[in-house]
Structure 1
Amino acid sequence: MARLYVAYSFLKSGLDSINDWTTTQYLYENDFHVPLLPPHVAAILGTGGELLFPILLILGFLGRISSLGLFFVNFVAYISYAYSLQTAGKMYHYIWGILLLVIILWGPGKMSLDYLLSKIKR
């Protein structure tokens, strides 16, 4: 359930970013101050992460790796515009981070491709 909740949140954001790329670029140039990356590169990588990792997480394929990727996306998003987030916005990032850490530590669970593939290997 944690996998689906977190994946939905990030996938929706990624789809919104793709559907209005002009606004996405504007936000990365003016609001999201991603350290060490030019805004256009940060926009591509951030949106790519929001689209790829949630799909893997929904499937439960490479669950720990995709959770780690989303954890990183979440962390970079938080530090990039934490100054402008209200308390409720910060809480979402904390909740997503905790849920992703749970998946990183304990895996994606029995209803995942990772689990199914591990059973087939045996």
Structure 2
Amino acid sequence: MNTTVAIARWSRLTAQLAVLTPLALLLFRVFVALAFWRAGTVKWDDPSGTAYLFDNEYQVPLLAPALAATLATWTELVLPWFLAFGLGTRMVAAVLFVYNIVAVVSYPALWPNGLWAGLIGGDFNDHKAWGLMLLALVGLGAGRISLDAVVTRRFR
């Protein structure tokens, strides 16, 4: 097989696989949105437990514990809807990406082996996966299966 034929076959294969991109982006959005939404509902359902965690366990920098708890709860209850429906996706994903980093840094129990060792090792794997999916959404956008795509088509 010559190089030209191999390149042509490779190009066809990658073009065929590219049809999966909108579905993959939708699944990233929904998967991460559900994770954050569930965390928000836990905070909402148990305000005293949430207050305890922010007062005693979490070490959120620059914010008073009560303010951090309120912001965290509302961030986790509101932004996942925007993410799931793909509205303002790049901005919402960027905010949640930073929020995810703050959550990891603020809760040392997630990294019993140390933050840097945990980053390379097996600590806080969920947060790493969410962070990578959010970063992909920041870079790639919501895809064709989203309100962002509808709005773009409508106002083009």
Could you state the TM-score of these two structures normalised by the residue count of structure 1?
Answer: 0.94
1:49-88 CA-partner distances (Å, limit 9, x unpaired): 111110100110000111111112111100001x211565
Change (3 A) 1:13 1:89: farther
Structure 1, gaps ≥5 residues long: none
For 2:87 and 2:132, locate their aligned partners in 1 and report how far apart those are by CA, in whole Å.
20
- 2:68 is the counterpart of 1:42: yes
Q: Which of 56, 59, 70 in structure 2 is aligned with 1:33?
A: 59
Which amino acid letter does the alignment assign opposite residue 131 of structure 2? G
For 1:76 and 1:46, locate their aligned partners in 2 and report how far apart those are by CA, in whole Å.
10
* Identical-pair percentage: 36
Which amino acid letter does the alignment assign opposite residue 42 of structure 1? A
For 1:23 and 1:119, locate their aligned partners in 2 and report how far apart those are by CA, in whole Å.
45
Please give the root-mean-square deviation of Cα atoms over the aligned residues, in Å: 1.2
**2:110 is matched with which residue?**
85
How far does residue 96 in structure 1 lie from its aligned partner after superposition? 0.6
How far does residue 89 in structure 1 lie from its aligned partner after superposition? 5.2
Which amino acid letter does the alignment assign opposite residue 106 of structure 1? L
Structure 2, gaps ≥5 residues long: 1-26, 112-117
**1:100 is matched with which residue?**
134
Bigger Rg, which one: 2
For 1:33 and 1:111, locate their aligned partners in 2 and report how far apart those are by CA, in whole Å.
38
For 2:149 and 2:39, locate their aligned partners in 1 and report how far apart those are by CA, in whole Å.
28
